[in-house]
Amino acid sequence: SLLPPSSSSSSSEIIIPQAHRRRNVFKSVGLLTSLMPMAILNARKAAGADVDVGGVTVSTIKDGLEGSRGAQAGDWVLISYQGKIKATGQVFDSTRGGLTYMNGGVAEYQPRLFQLNAKNPQPGIVSGLYKAIEGMKVGEIRKADISAAEGYGDMAVVGPFAEVPARSDLEYEIQILRMGRDIQRMLRATSRCGAGGQAAQTSGCRDIEPLVTE
């Protein structure tokens, strides 16, 4: 379950949904996102090359699979990621499993399924993460350094695994496992891993390897 907001919390504090129970943010921060032009993201082809666009610095750790196109607005993506507070290296959000939640219990491995859509931002997914994902290929692994302005800004955040102070720069490592325009086809390809909204499922998650499906 989510950590309940403290009675002493300021109005700027928000809650990130836990990986295994994705619920609405208790105090919405209105994370409207603007996805980056594909022409800019196409420059991110050379493995290891740093590219800085709008407060997000991205480097490719591993190239994507042959035959995969780059992710774009409207795509459904199944991603595995880990988010850290850059100043301390503390993990505050992750789909990888094995970490202990702040309120107890051990997280399961559970990639996250959502749509790259600036009009419908997902709880806990900051604008900088949308920017880092666009243009990625299936199987590609990227490291993204995200400025506070493209993260949670002046908001203090309670994540599944750690608290994130206001004005914190963030660091993510991301991999796309599946990508497509048809959500039903995506679900068939992933054994419903990550599906289910508030009660997101873990069925078959461990068996998923990067695969180009369309």
pLDDT tens for 123-182 read 888 999 999 999 999 999 999 999 999 999 999 999 999 999 999 999 999 999 999 888
Name the pLDDT band for 100 (thresholds 50, 70, 90). Answer: very high
Give the span between the Cα atoms of 214 and 212, in whole angstroms: 6
Let me know: does 160 contact 146? Beta carbons within 8 Å.
no
Name the pLDDT band for 197 (thresholds 50, 70, 90). Answer: low
pLDDT at 53: 74
pLDDT at 196: 58
Instruction: Please state, rounded to an integer, the average pLDDT across all residues of the chain.
Output: 77
Pull the structure tokens for residue 165: 């102070």
Q: Is 181 left (phi over 0), alpha (psi -120 to 50) or beta?
A: alpha
Residue 70: pLDDT over 60: yes
Strands 50-53 and 156-158, by their bridges, are: unpaired
3-state secondary structure of 152: coil
Let me know: does 120 contact 28? Beta carbons within 8 Å.
no
Residue 44: pLDDT over 50: no
Q: Please name which of 176, 154, 163 lies closest in space to residue 16, comparing C-alpha atoms.
A: 163
